[in-house]
Amino acid sequence: MQYLGIEYSVKNMPELDPGFLPFGVWAAAYLSEARSPFAVAVEREEGKVHVHRSYLRGPEFAEANRRYVERLVKFLLWSVGGFRVTLCGCDEEARRLQADYAGSGARAFDSGFMTDVYERPFEIVITDEKHFPAAHETAVSAGGHLEGCRIGFDAGGSDRKVSAVIDGETVYSEEVVWFPKLQSDPQYHFDGIVQAFKTAAAKMPRVDAIGVSSAGVFVGNRPMVASLFLKVPRERRDEVKTIYERAAKEIGDVPLRVANDGDVTALAGAMSLGSGAVMGLAMGTSEATGYVNEEGKLLGWLNELAFAPVDLNEQAVQDEWSLDIGVGCKYFSQDAVIKLAPAAGIALSEALSPAEKLKEVQKLAERGNDSALAIFRSIGVYLAHTLALYSLVYPMRTLLVLGRVASGAGGETLAAECRRVLREEYPALFDRLCVMLPDEKTRRVGQSVAAASLPEG
């Protein structure tokens, strides 16, 4: 097969999406004869810089160069996160990206998101090798601290969970229904968080630390972008940014650590398995990912792979939020199931919600319906090819596949198909990477307990 003059080979294609063009496969073929040095640096808070060095092909491959640079920069940006991207070795392509990421450009969503997260104007800088920034990464120890009396709080969109944990043992746990996504007054959120903290605190002789797991993007302990506060008006966002710090003060002057729920999921897996280099990938309303490195530390990266490119097919489905095509949220979520249903010959009523449509397909899969199972096999093929891409930036020994899409017979089919494609097309990756659904062993450390272990006492 060929795309933009680059020959590439794929043995296994998703049976319901024959136009799928895996970015990782094409990029590997592109790089096989690329010789011109090219580098990307992504800078985020506190002077942290991630550097990725690569190569470009000659001028006769101008279109392929353009596509590779644009997709690679976007992939790194949504993996690492940052307010400044510095490019070296591709001035012409860099100028195109500057236009794309400007206020009215094709990637305005991306630049606006990063501006909100880091509270700095997003920019793309062109430089030479002499002035190219040096890498500066700092992995943060987080989790595994189970000594003493701890509160673990898991802030979900429909319920909140809190645990009182003493020396690693849960002595009390509760779930309370709440509706944070519908509330515009941050006092509602604050009161709910404080109530949960106080409930857990009352079950212990003292509180030594508080750990919080929540959906969203955090800089330090502050939520910069979070769906829980969707209805809170922009002029009150400063109240949201300090909400966990203020709630913890209601308990006392104790260590607090807040982390993205994807990272906490990966941490829970690492704690259960007793090893690092774990990615958690949850397929639900969207794609949510988290990662802990070989040493069991958090990188402090964005890890918003829902918006990272995985498919180069120019007829791929568009994401309604970012307005881009071929990004992860349309391949590893309930949207992927809905997208593939027509190709499988499954008609789903438009009167159903996305979650209800997923349940209808899952019911068919549980009955052994091969059309429904073909949907999950196709997602498994997507996943195998995408893991080859993710592994370039995230060294992994274990992938935990989680979320509603991965439950039941469909999830088992998805994981099995992913492992089959890895074995056939990526044997070296297959040998070192375990793709697994959570079993009782990995469920042993729950989300709120893992959250409780985040801060040092």
* Residue 445 scores a pLDDT above 80: no
Q: What is the pTM of this model?
A: 0.90
pLDDT digits (tens, 9 = 90+) for 19-37: 999 999 999 999 999 999 9
Identity of residue 249:
K
Q: Return the percent helix, strand and coil in the chain, to nearest 5.
A: 45, 25, 35
Amino acid sitting at position 191: D
The yes-or-no answer to whether 140-265+447-452 and 272-443 have a common fold is yes
pLDDT digits (tens, 9 = 90+) for 278-332: 999 989 888 989 999 999 899 989 999 999 999 999 999 999 989 999 999 999 9
Residue 444 DSSP one-character state: S
Closest CA to 38 of 49, 52, 25: 52
Tell me the C-alpha distance between 5 and 14, whole Å.
23
CATH entry, 140-265+447-452, from 3.40.50.300, 2.40.110.10, 3.40.50.620, 3.30.420.40: 3.30.420.40
Query: pLDDT for 413-437, tens place per residue?
Result: 999 999 999 999 999 999 999 999 9
Residue partners of 439: CB distance under 8 A and separation at least 6: none
Homologous superfamily, domain 272-443: ATPase, nucleotide binding domain (3.30.420.40)
Does residue 439 have a pLDDT over 80? no
Each residue of 190-245: pLDDT tens digit? 999 999 999 999 999 999 999 999 888 888 899 998 888 989 998 998 999 999 99
Rounded Cα distance between 96 and 91, Å, is 9
For the chain, the domains span 33-131, 140-265+447-452, 272-443
